[in-house]
Amino acid sequence: MAETADVVVVGAGIVGASIAFHLAERGVDVLVVDRDGPVAGSTARSGGIVSCFDNTAVEAELAWESLTGYFERWHERVGGGCGFTRTGSAILAGAADAEALRAVTAVQAAGGIDVRLMSANELAAVEPHAHLDDVHTASYQPRGGYADPAAATLGFLRAGVRRFARRRVTAVRHTGGRVTGVSTPDGDIACGAVVLAAGAWSVPLAASAGAELPVRPSRIQVMLYERPYAIPMHLTMGDLINDLYLRSTADRCSLAGRDAPVREWLDDPDDYRRELDDAAVADVHARLARRFPALAERPYRLGRTAVLDMTADGKSILGPLGPEGLFTAVGWSGSGFGKAPAVGAELARWVVDGAPRRADLKRFGVHRFAEGALIHGEGTYAATTQRLGG
């Protein structure tokens, strides 16, 4: 007899774990399935950035709820610890991006987020270690920071999920326009709903149910450089001028990476080079040193590569997909970690109640690609396509 569950969540990264946690809170018999085990995919290589720098009101609201309702009070809300460290966060813009940054900041402030615009001189009082002469405008969030991706993901799984299977899902089963379960090499699992939260690996599973997920895998590189004792901690930053995102780490390093200009598109998310490129390591170090001159002579310690699930507009794909009972939460384009707690709550509502609490999330459905209704948000940065969230 086939194994059964009310809902199967495919993917045990931060998003899938959050969805499962919130489904379990609602009394749903949820089974999480991942071929490699918990925190084995992109989440393990996430920057773990927790800030509210999204350029749409609903995304910024999700990030703010995740920060204030989960990361800041993890022990109370979830249990245990998630390694959240408040460093303060800032986006740094030159003249070309100043207007766009003002527009994005206005959206965030209107949603109740603790954010303020600053001049370079004002920011220097908050971050005295950075070279800021090239900064025209900065957007500062005092409550931003970072968390431990593994601790947060395992925290969700341990707190609410009683059933986990380390299996490879090969197909979504469906009959008469409705989901009936999933197939694995170890047998079928019968269920009434399936949530695909496995990043780019969700694409063939959606196809098995007759649905198309316009998600493309991309290889990125993230580096850690030693930080001198003179800088015990620095702000988490989206540096538009140097096309860089960066944050402190607990082990006296600075984590940094770039985005669109060095993206490497993949045909298969399992087929990519794990080693870092020497040229990329040197390039990111040079950009980091322009912002923090004291890091110029500090050594490169280590790095990692990861696969992002990218969409045409850089926004996630949420909600129903294909046959009734199939849902998706993919296409994070590198910004899913900081929003994952609140997103999980919304997906649980969607599955159980038939709709999210935030109606605007329906805009993020897969239908927008066929309808030419891509989401662009407020403020398009001229210098770079900014990604801050990990």
Residue 322 shares a structural domain with residue 290: no
Of 379 and 237, which is predicted with more confidence?
Answer: 237
Percent of the chain with pLDDT over 70: 97
Averaged pLDDT, 112-116: 95
Indicate if the pLDDT at residue 331 is higher than 90: yes
Averaged pLDDT, 134-139: 98
Residue 190 shares a structural domain with residue 292: no
pLDDT tens per residue across span 186-221: 999 999 999 999 999 999 999 999 999 999 999 999
pLDDT level of residue 45 (50, 70, 90 thresholds):
confident
Residue 300 burial by Cβ neighbours in a 10 Å radius (0-12, 13-18, 19+): middle
Strands (E), 131-186: 137-141, 145-146, 164-165, 171-175, 178-184
Question: What average pLDDT does the chain have?
Answer: 93
Residue 231 shares a structural domain with residue 179: no
> Residue 304 sits in which domain range?
84-145+216-308
The strands making up 164-165's β-sheet, listed across from edge to edge, are 164-165, 30-33, 7-10, 193-196, 326-330, 317-320
In this predicted structure, what is the pLDDT of residue 46?
Answer: 87
Percent of the chain with pLDDT over 90: 88
pLDDT level of residue 40 (50, 70, 90 thresholds):
confident
Give the CATH number of the domain where residue 224 resides. 3.30.9.10
Indicate if the pLDDT at residue 60 is higher than 90: yes
Averaged pLDDT, 258-272: 83
Instruction: Let me know the angle formed at the C-alpha of 364 by 158 and 143, rounded to the nearest 5 degrees.
Output: 55
Amino acid at 187: G
Within a domain: residue 260? yes
Domain finish residue from 292, 308, 324: 308
Residue 222 shares a structural domain with residue 211: no
**Residue in 242, 227, 220 with CA at minimum distance from that of residue 288:** 242
To which residue do tokens 């990604």 refer?
387
In this predicted structure, what is the pLDDT of residue 261?
Answer: 54
In this predicted structure, what is the pLDDT of residue 204?
Answer: 97
Indicate if the pLDDT at residue 68 is higher than 90: yes
Residue 104 shares a structural domain with residue 210: no
Within a domain: residue 289? yes
3-state secondary structure 279-305: HHHHHHHHHHHHHCHHHCCCCEEEEEE
Indicate if the pLDDT at residue 374 is higher than 90: yes
Residue 140 shares a structural domain with residue 221: yes
In this predicted structure, what is the pLDDT of residue 328?
Answer: 98
Residue 319 shares a structural domain with residue 200: yes
Residue 324 shares a structural domain with residue 367: yes
In this predicted structure, what is the pLDDT of residue 385?
Answer: 46
Task: Report how far residue 342's alpha carbon sits from residue 40's, in angstroms, rounded to the nearest whole number.
Answer: 22
pLDDT level of residue 387 (50, 70, 90 thresholds):
very low
Distance of CA 155 to the CA centre of its chain: 17
In this predicted structure, what is the pLDDT of residue 389?
Answer: 39
pLDDT level of residue 390 (50, 70, 90 thresholds):
very low
Residue 126 shares a structural domain with residue 140: yes
Within a domain: residue 199? yes
